Structure 1
Amino acid sequence: MTDTVDSSYLSTRRATRLSTLLPVLLLATYFSASFVLRLLRGGDLASDEAEQIRLSHSLQLGYGDQPPLYDWLFYYFAKIFGASVDTLAFVKNGTLLLSCIFLCLAARKVMGKRETAWIAPLGFLSLPVVFLLSQRDLTHSVGAFAVVAFFLYVLALMAERPSTGNYALLGAAAGLGFLAKYNFAIVPVATVAALLLEPGLRRLVFNWRLAVTIAVGLIVAAPHVYWIVTHLDLATGDTLKNLRAAASAGMPEQVVAAWELLGAIVKCSALTLAILAIVYRGHIRTILGTSSEWTRVIGRMLVISMFLVYVIMLAVDATIMRPKWISIFFVAFPLYLAFKIEASGVQVPGAIGKLVALVGAVIFISLGVVFVGSFH
């Protein structure tokens, strides 16, 4: 009997170690391969990469119609290592890796040291904007991914220990988010609304320390906000023009905007949901039908964010919505699914291994396609 118990215990420990080792190996291999293949593609720069090289010669409060955080980050790395393809590839892949790390930390902060926490970073890798668009030509969005992941981690940290320091850290994350991507400003608003709708977490909003969060966020963003006010034409650039297009004949702009937004939402989330549906086949209805405190908070954050995006689209007469423009909000989507799976109590033997295999197949095939396509 004792031998049987010992054997079962050892098997469980081996399975736990394997479920931890496989995602770590995938992350290490993928980002190393991404770095190496970008170097092998040579010095032909995509538009965002060329912009980074051009702007790396000076440090300014603002540069154009994109916020400056990623420009600042690359500037300092370029000063140390030189403005080169190597540095571009290192900064981009390092920033994406940071996104994975912070999402995993956020999941573990809520769920504890459980293997389901790996669903968050693995799900993040399965987002098309991450494994495809980021490897082609994204910079500012990549920086925003990391800040959103950091914001979510600090939010979980603050819920566990609502200290003045954690409130200040959340404010710093919010300020950095605005400096990474202007539409990040929606995230704190959606967060406050989602917390107010959750009775057990309302205390986080009705706390004097929230003033510290706001103050720190404003201090972090203030220098660039001043630059925006004094360079309004340069800051707005072609943003509004890119959002607008002639509406379909006979279709109200409100309907066109809603259809565009819905299409972008599906493109951002469908593949990740499909992969998890394969891994947890037979249980997906149970998982989606289960809720917990944190699934409700993150789910409401996503819904409120999309509603605010739609309101903004109507306000500026926007009739185009590309997935990459709302991609920063979907950094939270894999975390939401991880919380759903945890709350449901569904356990599928070898689930993390299967998830690693499926996500690995998708991201490495895509990496190969991007590499081969760069020579045509």
Structure 2
Amino acid sequence: MDRDGGFVDLRERPGQGSRLANFLSGGLWPATLFLGVYFVASIATRLALPHSLTLDEAEQSLFSQYWLAGYGPQPPFYNWVQNAFVSIMGISLLALTLPKFVMLLLCYFFFGLAAREIDGRAGFVAMAMLSLLLLPQVSYMPQQDLTHTVAVLMATSLFFYGLFRTLARPDWMGYALLGLAIGIGTISKYNFVLLPAATVVAVFADREWRARLFDVRILLTAAISVTIIMPHALWLLGNLDLATKGTISKMVEANAPHGIARIARALGSLALACLAFGALALVVFAVAFKKQFRPALKMSTRWTRLLGIMMLVSLLGVVLVILLAGTTKITERWLDPYLLVLPLYLLVKFRGAGADIVASLKRFLPVFLTIMAITLIPLAAKTVTAGMTGSYTRINYPFTLVAETLKAEGQPSLIIAGGTHLGGNMRLRFPGTPVVDPGRPIAGFPPLDSLKSPILVIWPINSDTVQQPPFALPPEVSALGLTASPVQSLSFPHEYGDGRTGLKLGYLWLR
């Protein structure tokens, strides 16, 4: 037994039950394989839908044309990974989909490694990994349209693995993993930085673990994290307004009250976000382990104290942001780094109260399978039934017909597209052609040898009257002195639509 009363026999044999439950009770690798099949199904579901892009997919498509130290309000780690996939595979929906689900699988895998440092029983590790399905921010939302958030989920799981390994059996590898996770997490989402700060407080509170903070090997943690962060940090110094204005605007509601009323609204938003993030996991565990529920509330071990302090201090950091930044709205995904460990925290609490976590895997399996099935349905169902419901997603946009029509008129050397979503879809449909969004210009892009006739200028229109493009042409293009064709329009019905509602675009050619 470990010091907290948990068994650590890695040779535990699966009990009687379903074949799948017995297979999963093998621990880390069987659970990883099982989740890998689930994510293959997720990828197949997305590829079976029309290949028009969601907003985040379109942004990644557009930005995959160039490597930068920073791209705007979001840190660049996910962009770099995405660009690596596109560099190898070429631009395609598969190349835009793979990084997200690879990172999600790694999130579950690293979480399993972290859980194994606390309780080495194979069944406990599998339960911990699958319990992440109880968090909608991990199971449901990534199936819709997330990118940078998925990267921070992966980094957070890696951070907990490095932390637990360093606390349980400190070695150079543990400190190196911490540095890697801190570096990746910081350039995935800026709010990640509260997690290592809260960890310092939590570790310092334990008399024995406190020595880990003063171990010389922590310099390796610092060196690795700084090396990873530095390129973006240097960019950030000169682009602070660009990097922060988008995030701040999302956190402040229009016509928000001031003073105490604003703070009260923000704190209420934080409380609701915490509830939305963890309520399902708490309710499922409370129902499943109802006899141990009250004892679990009082149960405390070194691990639960550590995790409890980390979550509490992180949320206090969010409160500090509310007070200093004028925030009025907190969403669940901003809590990902701080509350991702909640299922593991609950499992350790219930384990300490006498619940048989390993034997419960079979009972929990129908819940996990139901969640996995449900998360695959909404996006596909909403897309396919859009004509009946009148609720269209961006995946319904008929960009296949748009591209076929434009290609019949000519092959552009450059595309100037109004908006990131349109630009990303044009990039997917014209893979060899540079695409520019005038609203998000990039210095030095496109290359000068692409600035030649013909150039396609295209933009969305919301009325029957087709007017000139609602943006100025890049000065490099204007300097070419090309002649603009008359403005034309395209209108096609949405895929899976009612035949009446559709996409309208204005365009012209510069020759």
TM-score by length of 1: 0.91
Cα deviation 1:43-97 (Å, max 9, x = unaligned)? 1211111000111111111111100011000110111112221122221111111
Residue 3 of structure 1 corresponds to which residue in structure 2? none
Counterpart CA distance in 2 for 1:10 and 1:302 is 31
Structure 2 counterpart of 1:328, one-letter code = P
Residue 233 of structure 1 corresponds to which residue in structure 2? 241
Shift of 1:165: 4.0
Residue 127 of structure 2 corresponds to which residue in structure 1? 119
Residue 188 of structure 2 corresponds to which residue in structure 1? 180
CA contact (8 A) 1:302 1:330 kept: yes
Structure 1 residues 286, 26: closer, same or farther in 2, change over 3 A? farther
Shift of 1:250: 9.1
Structure 1 residues 296, 229: closer, same or farther in 2, change over 3 A? same
Residue 260 of structure 1 corresponds to which residue in structure 2? 269
CA RMSD, 1 decimal? 2.3
Counterpart CA distance in 1 for 2:259 and 2:70 is 41
Question: Aligned ranges for residues 361-372 of structure 1 at < 5 Å?
Answer: 361-372=370-381
Cα deviation 1:314-354 (Å, max 9, x = unaligned)? 10110111111222322211221222233333216841122
Cα deviation 1:147-180 (Å, max 9, x = unaligned)? 1000100111111332344323312211111011
Question: Aligned ranges for residues 156-195 of structure 1 at < 5 Å?
Answer: 156-195=164-203
Shift of 1:10: 11
CA contact (8 A) 1:131 1:367 kept: no
CA contact (8 A) 2:292 2:354 kept: no
The answer to whether residue 312 in structure 2 is matched with residue 303 in structure 1 is yes
Shift of 1:366: 2.7
The answer to whether residue 364 in structure 2 is matched with residue 355 in structure 1 is yes
Residue 163 of structure 2 corresponds to which residue in structure 1? 155
Cα deviation 1:236-258 (Å, max 9, x = unaligned)? 13111111123358962221111
Structure 2 counterpart of 1:162, one-letter code = P
Residue 89 of structure 2 corresponds to which residue in structure 1? 81
Structure 1 residues 196, 342: closer, same or farther in 2, change over 3 A? same
Counterpart CA distance in 2 for 1:147 and 1:249 is 36
Counterpart CA distance in 2 for 1:11 and 1:129 is 33
Cα deviation 1:117-143 (Å, max 9, x = unaligned)? 223221212211122211111000001
Shift of 1:33: 1.4
After TM superposition, the structure 1 stretch with the greater mean CA deviation from structure 2, 123-132 or 94-103, is 123-132
After TM superposition, the structure 1 stretch with the greater mean CA deviation from structure 2, 333-342 or 182-191, is 333-342
Select the structure of larger CA radius of gyration.
2
Residue 329 of structure 1 corresponds to which residue in structure 2? 338
Structure 1 counterpart of 2:292, one-letter code = H
The answer to whether residue 302 in structure 2 is matched with residue 317 in structure 1 is no
Structure 1 residues 62, 25: closer, same or farther in 2, change over 3 A? closer
Structure 1 residues 202, 230: closer, same or farther in 2, change over 3 A? same
Unaligned runs of 5+ in 2: 1-10, 387-511
Residue 275 of structure 1 corresponds to which residue in structure 2? 284
Structure 2 counterpart of 1:370, one-letter code = L
Identity across the alignment (%)? 32
SS of the aligned residue for 1:283 comes to helix
Shift of 1:261: 0.5
CA contact (8 A) 1:129 1:268 kept: yes
Counterpart CA distance in 1 for 2:182 and 2:175 is 11
SS of the aligned residue for 2:347 comes to helix
- If each structure's helix is expressed as a fraction of its own residues, which one has the higher value? 1
Counterpart CA distance in 1 for 2:246 and 2:269 is 19
Cα deviation 1:276-333 (Å, max 9, x = unaligned)? 2232232222223212111111111111111101101110110111111222322211
Q: Kindly indicate whether structure 1 or structure 2 has the higher relative contact order, using CA contacts under 8 Å at least 6 residues apart.
A: 1
After TM superposition, the structure 1 stretch with the greater mean CA deviation from structure 2, 345-354 or 244-253, is 244-253
Structure 2 counterpart of 1:347, one-letter code = D
Number of aligned positions between the proteins: 368
After TM superposition, the structure 1 stretch with the greater mean CA deviation from structure 2, 46-55 or 238-247, is 238-247
Structure 1 residues 304, 372: closer, same or farther in 2, change over 3 A? same
Cα deviation 1:201-229 (Å, max 9, x = unaligned)? 11111323323322322222011000000
The answer to whether residue 69 in structure 2 is matched with residue 43 in structure 1 is no
After TM superposition, the structure 1 stretch with the greater mean CA deviation from structure 2, 42-51 or 137-146, is 42-51
Residue 25 of structure 2 corresponds to which residue in structure 1? 20
TM-score by length of 2: 0.68
Unaligned runs of 5+ in 1: 1-8
Residue 199 of structure 1 corresponds to which residue in structure 2? 207
Shift of 1:99: 0.5
CA contact (8 A) 1:122 1:355 kept: no
CA contact (8 A) 1:30 1:364 kept: no
SS of the aligned residue for 2:326 comes to coil
